[in-house]
Amino acid sequence: MTPSAPAAQLQTVQDRIAAAQKRAGRPDGSVTLVAVSKTFEAPDIRPVLEAGCRVFGENRVQEAKAKWPALREAFEGVELHLIGPLQSNKAAEAVALFDVIETVDREKIARELAREMDRQGRRPRLYVQVNIGQEAQKAGIAPGEAVAFVERCRAAHGLAIEGLMCIPPLEGDPAPHFSALAGLAREAGLEKLSMGMSGDFEEAIAQGATSVRVGSAIFGGRG
């Protein structure tokens, strides 16, 4: 892949998002692209920043910590999302580094985040991750517990949850899972839905995604 390939692919993805938004009868700008830069290094990420993208997703705290401080020095206005599982011993680093944490999925993490946010005086925006396909190997709170968990985050920990996030099962039609997440968000009184990846972001937009997390369609395969 030539150095400028990610920038060209970014444009293609942005065009596809705009078209899917229009087909769904949703206003321009109602879907945010989170460019998932995990496993890619600065030479691949820079052209995407130069093309104007400012919202990025990383799935590991340590990796993000190694890459992003220097990129943030070079580019203003970066918004970094944590989209991978968070261990409670990394909560302090996550609060310091990320602007949005999309993977709040259990009591202990909620408690640690609340404590760190008070300590650091920094309040990243938060999403609750739902294990929408109820898969044993996947992170996320069970769908049946999600609404109560959102409530408990507010009531017991003072955490304002902004939306829900999911990764549907690899196999099968993702649309019913996207639609189920949208239903849970309505029940919980939340307007934001982080759902849809390279293979299915158009379906997610049709089901109401307000942000899509797209990696390989922009940066290429991760090997």
Give the dihedral sign, CA 16/85/5/66: positive
- Cα–Cα distances (Å) from 179 to 46, 122, 204, in that order, read 35, 33, 8
Task: Decide: 78 and 54 in contact? Cβ < 8 Å.
Answer: yes
The minimum distance between CB 155 and ligand PLP, in angstroms, equals 27
What's the one-letter identity of residue 53? Answer: C
Q: How far is the CB of 217 from ligand PLP (least distance, A)?
A: 6
Stretch that binds ligand PLP, among 112-120, 180-188, 203-211, 212-220 (CB under 6 A): 212-220
Q: Choose the binding region for ligand PLP from 20-28, 108-116, 175-183, 208-216 (rule: CB under 6 A).
A: 208-216
Q: Looking at 10-18, 68-76, 114-122, 197-205, which segment touches ligand PLP (CB under 6 A)?
A: 197-205
b/e map 113-144, b = 16+ CB within 10 Å = bbebbeeeeeebbbbbbbbbbeeeebebbebe
Query: Interface with ligand PLP includes 216 (CB under 6 A)?
Result: yes
Q: Which helix (H) or strand (E) holds 125?
A: strand 125-130
Q: Which tokens hold the place of 25?
A: 């009868």
Q: How far is the CB of 132 from ligand PLP (least distance, A)?
A: 12
Please name the amino acid found at residue 20: A
| Nearer Cβ to ligand PLP (120/134) | 134
Q: Is 32 in the site for ligand PLP (CB under 6 A)?
A: no
83 binds ligand PLP (CB under 6 A): yes
Judged by CB, which is closer to ligand PLP: 157, or 180? 180
Stretch that binds ligand PLP, among 43-51, 62-70, 156-164, 194-202 (CB under 6 A): 194-202
CB of 157 or CB of 206, closer to ligand PLP: 206
86, 65 Cβ separation under 8 angstroms: no
Per CB under 6 A, does 167 bind ligand PLP?
A: yes
Q: CB–CB of 182/193 below 8 Å?
A: yes
Check residue 38 for interaction with ligand PLP (CB under 6 A). Answer: yes
Q: Which stretch binds ligand PLP (CB under 6 A): 12-20, 60-68, 142-150, 207-215?
A: 207-215
Residue 154 within binding range of ligand PLP, rule CB under 6 A: no
CA distance 185 to 118: 26
Q: Measured between alpha carbons, how far is residue 205 from residues 19, 103, 186 in Å?
A: 10, 20, 16
Binding site for ligand PLP (CB under 6 A): 36, 38, 59, 83-84, 167, 197-199, 213-217
